């Protein structure tokens, strides 16, 4: 999601948020960052698909399935991927282009969860419109100039 906001000082800010598919390494965790990226998730998805396909193909023809059992199985199967996708970390960036009277600014922060990312983006836009600064010290954004 990208939003453009006019700051209280008249500058035009671009505020955007992007999902992080792997957790960004911080200073404290840099040596221990061994994330496999997207490969592990793709392999697990293929493995689960192969197991479900095997279960369906090996089911004898005289077995009668109840529809609600299949529905409950699908809901349980989709719960973890949906929960994983909704709790990913998001990077929020607020930046302004360089102007003759003011240098460019760039503020970056990370939050967890899709709803929290939306709320934080809206909060940053409101702060920019009211105070001309993307963070009042209570949010995750830090200046990166």
Q: Would you state the pLDDT for residue 63? A: 82
Q: Would you state the pLDDT for residue 102? A: 83
Q: Would you state the pLDDT for residue 77? A: 81
User: Could you tell me the mean pLDDT of each successive run of 10 residues in the chain, 145 residues long?
Assistant: 90 93 64 62 88 87 82 86 85 92 91 93 95 90 89
Q: Would you state the pLDDT for residue 41? A: 77
Query: Tokens 């607020």 — which residue?
Result: 94
Token pair in block for residue 42:
């793709």
- Three-state secondary-structure class, residue 110: strand
Neighbouring CB atoms inside 10 A of 13's CB total: 22
Q: Would you state the pLDDT for residue 30? A: 54
Q: Which helix (H) or strand (E) holds 82?
A: helix 67-86
- 131 near 142, Cβ under 8 Å? no
């Amino acid at each position: 999601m990208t939003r453009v906001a006019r700051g209280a000082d008249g500058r035009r800010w671009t505020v955007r948020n992007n999902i992080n598919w792997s957790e960004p390494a911080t200073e404290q965790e840099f040596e221990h960052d061994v994330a496999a990226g997207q490969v592990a998730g793709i392999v697990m998805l293929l493995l689960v698909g192969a197991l479900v396909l095997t279960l369906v193909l090996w089911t004898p023809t005289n077995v009668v399935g109840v529809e609600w059992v299949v529905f409950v199985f699908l809901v349980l199967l989709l719960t973890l991927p949906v929960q994983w996708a909704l709790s990913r970390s998001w990077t929020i960036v607020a930046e302004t282009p360089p102007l003759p009277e003011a240098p460019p600014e760039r503020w970056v922060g990370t939050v967890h969860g899709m709803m929290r990312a939306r709320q934080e983006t809206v909060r940053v836009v409101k702060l920019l419109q009211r105070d001309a600064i993307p963070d009042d010290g209570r949010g995750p954004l830090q200046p990166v100039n």
